[in-house]
Structure 1
Amino acid sequence: MKKINFSFTATFLNIINLFILSGYIYPIYAQTYINIRGSVYSYEQNVPLSGVSVRVENTQIGTITNQEGIFNIQTEIGQTLVFTYLGYLPQKIKIISADQQNLSVKLHQNVTELNSVIVVGYGTERKENLTGSVSVLDMSTKENQPITNVSNALHGMPGLFVNLSNSMPGVDRATIRIRGIGTLNNNDPLVLVDGIEYSMDELNPSDIASITILKDASAAIYGSKSANGVILITTKSGKGKSHIDYNYYYGIQRPTYLPNAIWDPIQYMLLMNQAAANEGKGSPYFTDEDIQQYKEGMNTDPYDYPANNWFDIALRDGIIRKHDLSFSGSSDIYQYRLSLGYLNRHGIIFGPCNDERKYSLGLNTSFHLNKKLEIGLTLDGYYRFYTEPSYTTDNFWNYLMRTLPIMPDTLKDGNYGYPWLRVPGRNNWEHPRMIAFEGYYRKYVQRFLSTIFSNYQLPFGMNYHVKFGVDKYDGLLKVFIPQMVKEQALTGTLMNWNSPSTAPRAENDDYNTLNVHFYNTIDWHHGFKSHNINVMLGSELLIVMMMNPLWQK
């Protein structure tokens, strides 16, 4: 190892509602709107370009060119028009006078981008030769971002619907739709990691080089599984002299929005009585004696007469800590990259059941034994563990949103409390602290994908590629729900929250899957003048073995 490069990055993230007032100084122009009509051509071919994006910089105003390359847009003097088109360099034109109402724009081809290689079905292709609908995400553009799951990195890609319904530690995966809702298989796209079917949830985002989305007929080569589109993930490989990279990330998460709830118990009771009167009830929900007693008790006994803001009690700052360490390098004969990753995350719900830990191992190496033969080995390993409240996180949020300012936390004797006041529709009170602290819901996942592959250059420009992969998944779900008891404030009356006939109870679910993949292809490529011919023959074998024992007590 001749040279070691050491890089350290630390980032602090505070996800909150943040409003920043900033002052900007602009050149002073009269707010004169003008209609601009123009045409966009290719500089090299001098032909009109259709579908060119034309937008006003730093605004939501935009349009595209028609089949003749013509566009119309309204803007102000002093603003800038931005022209972008796939395979061409972007161009900006500042509007400084009304004389620019007719524009003729010529875009230059981005030669570097057109010559770049894109991963497609069972191979690669130069971007300028692509005929299908393909989107590519370079993961280097996502560096130093708080990405805890690979699916979250796809947000904002064209042609994709990406919806993150929750960001709970351990299950913060997004729903991805490429072709809308289908009827064949499920609606999820097919995901391939270095050519092998695999889950993107079990990958470290820092180990990914690029993600390619196949949306149309370009995905058909994968058969019926590709009916909802295909996502091709390429992992990083070693490049350049041997070096070491280390990256550390620290972040804080807070809720961006919470309901504007009433946490004043006296105001709550008065409003409830007003609601009863509005509904034509014959008597109020809370008598004047109850309200006066509560008001006086708040000054001396916060246990039996609480004024609790349960959002402040039950929610905390979430913490993210992420470490990534890699060793990589390459030469004319070999390349290697070994990576280790660790993620430790605490969610925003109080208690021990809102945490996650992930450990990742990545290996990508290949050797050229001679000019014709290359062999390689890849390994993607993941161990993750996360916890939820025993009655799941979704139920906890439902219970938290139903709690009231008169709901006690823990009483003087340490028992979980419930109000001594009678509230319509609330007989068996849900206690957020009891739900968050008692019992557990724990999921353990260990998964490894290991592949060996070889490429051999055959005569007549043909190439033979063979790959063998083993995907081993082991998951264990452990659930324990104890008997939960509450004590009524002021009276000391005990009440079971869950039924003794169903609690305590325990459950262990074991998930074991072994997938064996084998495929081989022969491809031939020939180019002459401005034409390219590609021919490929191949076969693939997939063996799936599953076992799912369940223990309950």
Structure 2
Amino acid sequence: MNSRSRFNFYFPVLVACFVFVCCFMCSNSVYAQVQHQITGTVVDDHGDPVIGATISVSGKALAVTDLDGAFHVSANPGAKLSVSYIGFKPKNFIAKVGGMRISLSSDVNQIQEVQVVGYGVQKKVTVTGAVSSVSGSQLAETPTGSINNMLAGAVTGLSSVQVSGEPGSDAATIYIRGKGTFNSSGQSPLLEVDGVERSFNDLNPNDIESITVLKDASATAVYGVRGANGVILVTTKRGKEGKAKVSFSTNWSVVAPSKPLKLANSYEYATFRNMRDLYDFTPTATNPTFTPIFSDAVINAFKTHSNPILYPDLNWVDFILDKTSLQTQHNMNISGGTKTARYFVSVGAFTQDGMFNKLTQPYDNNYSYQRFNYRANLDLDVTSSTTLSMNLSGIVSNKRNPRGSQGPTGFFKNLYYATPFSSPGIIDGKYVVFDGTSSWLPFQGATGSNYYGVGYDKESVNTLSVDMILNQKLDFITKGLSFKLKGSYNSSFSSTKDCTQGLPTYTPVVTTNTDGTQNIAYKMNGSLDVMSYSETYGKGRNWYMDASINYDHNFGLNHIGALLLYNQSKTYYPGSFSSIPTGYVGLVGRLAYDWNNRYMAEFDFGYNGSENFAKNRRFGKFPAVSIGWVFTDEPWLKPITKIVSFGKLRVTYGVVGNDKIGGKRFMYLPDPYYVNNSSLLNRGGYAYDFGTSGAIQNAAYEASRNNPNVTWEKAHKQNYGIDLRFFKDRLGTTLDYYVEHRDHILLYDQTAPDLIGFTLPAANLGKVKSWGYELSISWNDRIGNDIRYNIGLNFSNNENKILEEKEAPQDYAYQMA
């Protein structure tokens, strides 16, 4: 069949299809003309209007209810419509002519929403402590590799300070409600991942389900001697019943300095230097005339760039640093499971490049960081009442940085201090320096460190964490009773390879020809050394276990929750006194009661201790009490619920501790002494020279004074909070005010006179008062059925005052006047 015959065959068919489509469109047009106005009102369980509910058909939004919950749409009688709103279950209904009344039921899942708390979970509506949380999905949207940096601004009461941008070492320092102590080693909060103390800085953010911040005594009392600075709980994702779900994400980011400094060039530097010296010059008999350090000829050479080798003008920042660096993050996970077995498996890769330009070194000493994360969380229902869970995770990281004792802070200081005329930089592959200018060069610097010609360090770290959890329901004893047993093991191994290779530098040597022209040759200083290697190793491990009895049951409108937990941990190679492990042992309790989710009362306590203190001061009791009231559930306040959909008042008080008191371990032991004349002489000559002429006699020297009464810091905390939600939960706000009195802060008494002959021992004498408030505001709404948005604002104000520091008496300026 040729093309013309095929056209003649299909042409009638095409015409028929065209006519059919036109008729179909016309019929729809005629059909639309007979649609009716469907009106109605949407109300909640109590008969109050629901403002802002979306009326839709087949997923397409038609209208939104007004302030009276009323709506009107154009639809055919009998059409299937749906109504939805945040906090309520969506509902389908059949369009009818005349006023309709649609009643929405509250979403029970939202009412029963749980909040992660210390050693368990609670219904969010009954939580009485100062607790804030953020979902892992929110954090994963932030393009940074450190969880510490992601938390900045995400949670009220949490502040972070980032002091370095070095790849692999750029994590911010975190504080909760400011610094409650002037003891610098004991200001950080306790960090836990899946209920075990671990660092979370290098976690894969895509593995995180939520992060919870516990701030007041009611929330942290169960951690006892470790809860004074707050607690951060990280919960990782777990599998859910259903088909396997595979997720992949990738992120590429460009990192650049936020605000580069503008540096003076050689001409500007020389001009300003001469001007400063002139203004500071005072004529004397021996020096009556001012002589500038830079002559007019030198300044002119700087200005005209007539001799860039002998009179260079080099911007060291542009010469050494690149404008940008690359950061990448790739993640893949798979989750799913059956009714009896559920799994979550993930892998992630993260890289950070440095910002140094490659010069002429035969090796790469630029900063770089690579990290590989892996995780497998498994839940297995052995029986209908027994669940066995396992968490396996690890991190493999590699980090490279230039060698040198000054570190990145010192290097960048020298980089900005370097004068633009101190060196022309790299000339024909040679690093050119001038005699006597090394202290002005960022490569060498006054500290002797040398970015260009020393080498690099490469550190590899491998960590592994394993958790085993057994949950056993004991409903056969009494309903709501359960038992939980957890064991955890964590290990870390690191190796650091020091790669050293010296590189030569070159000094320009100028010779003058007979015609007055100049030749420049270079004298080599040093030589190209053979690369040398050395390697050091580090390791550490710890284990943790806890066993708990839990009770959670409702008696009509009464609900009781209780927890009794025993825990123990030990850490090997902790650093200071690394051959002696550190350990904790403790008992935890919680008793919570609420009536109809309206009136709440809770008692928490921690009883734990550490071997760092004397036996009679090793354990401490840390209680806390709290109450709460959901006042919007009161019948006599029902009229205000049209505006205030939820309101809760909270009050807490308790005492928590901090055993990170600074100083050395085992300060309760007897005073140490140095014995032996040679060691004494090395420590200042505390030996005796008597008897035989010229002979030094052995002696004993008291090294330091210890204190058997040393104990932990104690923080007495009060918190007053209110939670409010308006306009059917679209607008939410939380306000907390707190006061903390911390005492027993370790310090050295400076008030004793020097004539006593030795330094007084450390004692728990310091006191600090802290106070402040926190405010969070959020707006949560949707546009149609497909678009949901959330706007949030967090504000915190933390203040403190040192009440007692035992500083030495001194005369202030106003007293001396």
Per the TM superposition, whether the score is higher than 0.5 is yes
C-alpha distance after superposition, 1:233-285 (max 9, x if no partner): 0001123420211111111011110122113x223222221121122172111
C-alpha distance after superposition, 1:271-302 (max 9, x if no partner): 22112112217211111233345556x34x54
Matched residue type, 1:474? F
Instruction: Call closer, same or farther: CA 1:44–1:271 in 2, change over 3 Å.
Output: farther
Instruction: Call closer, same or farther: CA 1:347–1:114 in 2, change over 3 Å.
Output: farther
What's the counterpart of residue 145 of structure 2?
148
* 2:288 paired with 1:283: no
Distance in 2, Cα, partners of 1:405 & 1:343: 37
Residue of structure 1 aligned with 2:339, choices 308, 317, 332: 332
Instruction: Call closer, same or farther: CA 1:547–1:163 in 2, change over 3 Å.
Output: closer
Query: Where do 1:25-36 residues align within 5 Å?
Result: none
Distance in 2, Cα, partners of 1:136 & 1:437: 48
What's the counterpart of residue 565 of structure 2?
538
Matched residue type, 1:243? K
Question: Contact 1:134–1:214 at 8 Å: present in 2 too?
Answer: yes
Question: Contact 2:422–2:441 at 8 Å: present in 1 too?
Answer: no
Question: Contact 1:406–1:419 at 8 Å: present in 2 too?
Answer: no
C-alpha distance after superposition, 1:441-464 (max 9, x if no partner): 332211111111110111312111
Distance in 2, Cα, partners of 1:363 & 1:278: 70
Distance in 2, Cα, partners of 1:476 & 1:190: 27
What's the counterpart of residue 195 of structure 1?
195
Question: Contact 1:378–1:451 at 8 Å: present in 2 too?
Answer: yes
TM-score when normalising by structure 1: 0.72
Instruction: Call closer, same or farther: CA 1:112–1:403 in 2, change over 3 Å.
Output: farther
Instruction: Call closer, same or farther: CA 1:378–1:345 in 2, change over 3 Å.
Output: same
C-alpha distance after superposition, 1:131-172 (max 9, x if no partner): 111011111123332120111121111011211222221011
Distance in 1, Cα, partners of 2:316 & 2:107: 56
Residue of structure 2 aligned with 1:128, choices 117, 125, 129: 125
Shift of 1:529: 4.3
Question: Contact 1:465–1:522 at 8 Å: present in 2 too?
Answer: yes
Distance in 2, Cα, partners of 1:401 & 1:45: 69
What's the counterpart of residue 247 of structure 2?
245
Matched residue type, 1:190? L
Distance in 2, Cα, partners of 1:330 & 1:149: 30
Structure 1 residues 167-176 or 237-246, which shifts more?
237-246
What's the counterpart of residue 463 of structure 2?
447
* 2:469 paired with 1:456: no
Question: Contact 2:139–2:151 at 8 Å: present in 1 too?
Answer: no
* 2:357 paired with 1:356: no
Distance in 1, Cα, partners of 2:463 & 2:293: 56
Distance in 2, Cα, partners of 1:310 & 1:518: 54
Distance in 2, Cα, partners of 1:493 & 1:277: 36
User: How large is the RMSD of aligned CA atoms in angstroms?
Assistant: 3.2
Query: Where do 1:339-418 residues align within 5 Å?
Result: 339-351=346-358, 352-391=365-404, 392-412=407-427, 414-418=429-433
Instruction: Call closer, same or farther: CA 1:437–1:455 in 2, change over 3 Å.
Output: farther
What's the counterpart of residue 319 of structure 1?
326
Shift of 1:531: 3.4
C-alpha distance after superposition, 1:351-393 (max 9, x if no partner): 4321110001011111111110111110120011222221221
Matched residue type, 1:151? N
Structure 1 residues 540-549 or 120-129, which shifts more?
540-549
Structure 1 residues 435-444 or 134-143, which shifts more?
435-444
Distance in 1, Cα, partners of 2:351 & 2:456: 19
Distance in 2, Cα, partners of 1:529 & 1:185: 49
Question: Contact 2:419–2:440 at 8 Å: present in 1 too?
Answer: no
* 2:495 paired with 1:476: yes
Distance in 2, Cα, partners of 1:114 & 1:175: 35
Matched residue type, 1:334? A
Query: Where do 1:141-290 residues align within 5 Å?
Result: 141-156=138-153, 157-179=155-177, 180-182=179-181, 183=183, 186-217=186-217, 218-239=219-240, 240-263=242-265, 265-280=266-281, 282-290=290-298
Instruction: Call closer, same or farther: CA 1:547–1:111 in 2, change over 3 Å.
Output: closer
Instruction: Call closer, same or farther: CA 1:436–1:354 in 2, change over 3 Å.
Output: farther
Matched residue type, 1:313? F
Instruction: Call closer, same or farther: CA 1:528–1:127 in 2, change over 3 Å.
Output: same
Structure 1 residues 178-187 or 197-206, which shifts more?
178-187
* 2:540 paired with 1:513: yes
Question: Contact 1:190–1:228 at 8 Å: present in 2 too?
Answer: yes
Unpaired runs of 5+ residues, structure 2, are 1-44, 49-85, 88-104, 283-289, 359-364, 445-449, 511-521, 579-817
TM-score when normalising by structure 2: 0.50
Aligned residue for 2:239, secondary structure, equals coil
Question: Contact 1:482–1:505 at 8 Å: present in 2 too?
Answer: yes
Matched residue type, 2:180? I
C-alpha distance after superposition, 1:476-529 (max 9, x if no partner): 3334555465433455466689xx9xxx99764422111011111111112234
Distance in 1, Cα, partners of 2:303 & 2:564: 82
Question: Contact 1:342–1:359 at 8 Å: present in 2 too?
Answer: yes
Question: Contact 2:501–2:532 at 8 Å: present in 1 too?
Answer: yes
Distance in 2, Cα, partners of 1:332 & 1:302: 76
Aligned residue for 1:132, secondary structure, equals coil
Aligned residue for 1:128, secondary structure, equals helix
Shift of 1:227: 1.9
Distance in 2, Cα, partners of 1:155 & 1:113: 27
Matched residue type, 1:488? T
Distance in 2, Cα, partners of 1:185 & 1:405: 40
Instruction: Call closer, same or farther: CA 1:515–1:274 in 2, change over 3 Å.
Output: same
Aligned residue for 1:262, secondary structure, equals coil
Question: Contact 1:144–1:249 at 8 Å: present in 2 too?
Answer: no
Distance in 1, Cα, partners of 2:574 & 2:229: 27
